[in-house]
Structure 1
Amino acid sequence: MAQGSAPTKVSTRKSGAKKSGQKYQNKEAYRHNRNSRRTKEILAMPVDGLCRRCTDMVLWRKQFRKYKPLTAPKKWKVKKAYHILCDDCAHARQVCAKCTQKDEIVEVENPHDTSKQAEAERRELEAKLAGMRERQRRTYLRKLERGEIQVQDIPDISKDDGDEDSFSDFSDSELENEDNDE
């Protein structure tokens, strides 16, 4: 062996032995506590002014709960986490606010920004539940909680009808079929 040369690595694996697969196969997607206040705040934050690559990185961080929002603004007027430039400067230069590359800026519609949508859905739910008896209301709320039905699936039942049989265990299509038979 020559002086000053590094020794070569020797394999400890026997010949023909295969490497085993990874221990955890990632069969299930990561699910964090979606009902926490902090998670809702993080998911509601918009992802804008970034190129496709940076947008994907930030969305990944949000999905796997790695996103850490800023507690105080950085230098100048940078108020968003992982951004280097403020929105005004990045828009003026037409660059990505994170990597400062002149790539196409992607505008992502935030699927978790449901303030208007959630408000409209809440009002619709309240309006539909207001016309129900207590037993009916609780039944539909349990089904909503379990995810068996959506708000749109709840029938409109108003108190003004005065019809005792306004709520039944039949679906709307079954009731229509009965009406057609008569």
Structure 2
Amino acid sequence: MSSQKGNVRKTGSQKYQNKQAFKNSLHDTTPRVKLMNNVKLGGVCKRCKDIIDWKIKYKKYKPLTVPKKCTKCLEKKIKQAYYTICIQCAKEKNVCAKCGEKTEIVEEAELMSAAEQMSNEAQFEAELKLLPERKRRTFFRLQQQGKLTKELLEEAKGLADDDEFFNDLDDFSIGDDDDCRKLDEGEDSDVSDLYEK
């Protein structure tokens, strides 16, 4: 290729092509990467959301360590990286929280604090552990395929809250209270023999 003006166009496709896409958590499983992959974006336009998603996908996202100052209210309220306007000001003025332009907002921002999000995630993980293995795998499979919707989750939650489940538990009995007390105290000879072995 010569250095002649206007003669700098590449010919042909690139020489090497990756067979697999880049995966940001392939070799790095630190809490920072997990937090980065679970970032909830809200209150931004489509263009800004795509930019931040790209940064997350290719491990260029750098989370904030301290809250940032909002350009509208001048208070330290911004807790998300790359945002320039706090969520409250962006909602009041109906602008994108990153670029500040009046465009269509893709996702509404949640006003949940980081501590509330962590507690909700911990509660969700605990509930997942209580599920039987078969249902847990089904849940993860549907989640990967993107078939889980809010309607399906609400319907499943409604079925779990149904009284029939608790009625079935009431029918199940293990015996008299005296038998249970004896087992607790170790009075029953058959049971105490089992403990001695």
Task: Classify the TM-score, shorter chain.
Answer: 0.5 to 0.7
- Unpaired runs of 5+ residues, structure 2, are 70-74, 110-117, 140-197
- TM-score, length basis structure 2: 0.50
Deviations 1:128-159 (A, max 9, x none): 5xxxxxxxxxxx9xxxxxxxx96349xxxxxx
Residue number in structure 1 paired with 2:30:
36
Tell me the C-alpha RMSD between the 2 structures: 3.6
Q: Distance in 1 between matches of 2:67 and 2:30?
A: 24
Does the alignment pair 1:45 with 2:52? no
Q: Distance in 2 between matches of 1:12 and 1:29?
A: 29
**Cα–Cα, structure 1 residues 20 and 92, in superposed 2: closer, same or farther, change >3 Å?**
same
- TM-score, length basis structure 1: 0.54
1:4-23 maps to which residues of 2 (within 5 A)? 9=5, 19-23=11-15
Whether the 8 Å contact between 1:121 and 1:151 is mirrored in structure 2 is no
Residue 121 (structure 1) shift: 2.0
Residue 119 (structure 1) shift: 3.3
Residue 12 (structure 1) shift: 9.6
- Unpaired runs of 5+ residues, structure 1, are 1-7, 129-139, 141-148, 154-182
Whether the 8 Å contact between 1:32 and 1:65 is mirrored in structure 2 is yes
1:102-181 maps to which residues of 2 (within 5 A)? 102-107=102-107, 115=121, 117-125=124-132, 151-152=137-138
More relative contact order, 1 or 2 (CA 8 Å, 6+ apart): 1
Q: Distance in 2 between matches of 1:57 and 1:124?
A: 37
Residue 41 (structure 1) shift: 1.0
- SS state at 2:82 partner: coil
Of all paired residues, the percent bearing the same amino acid is: 37
Aligned length: 121
Q: Distance in 1 between matches of 2:125 and 2:12?
A: 48
**Which 4+ stretches in 1 moved above 4 angstroms?**
10-13
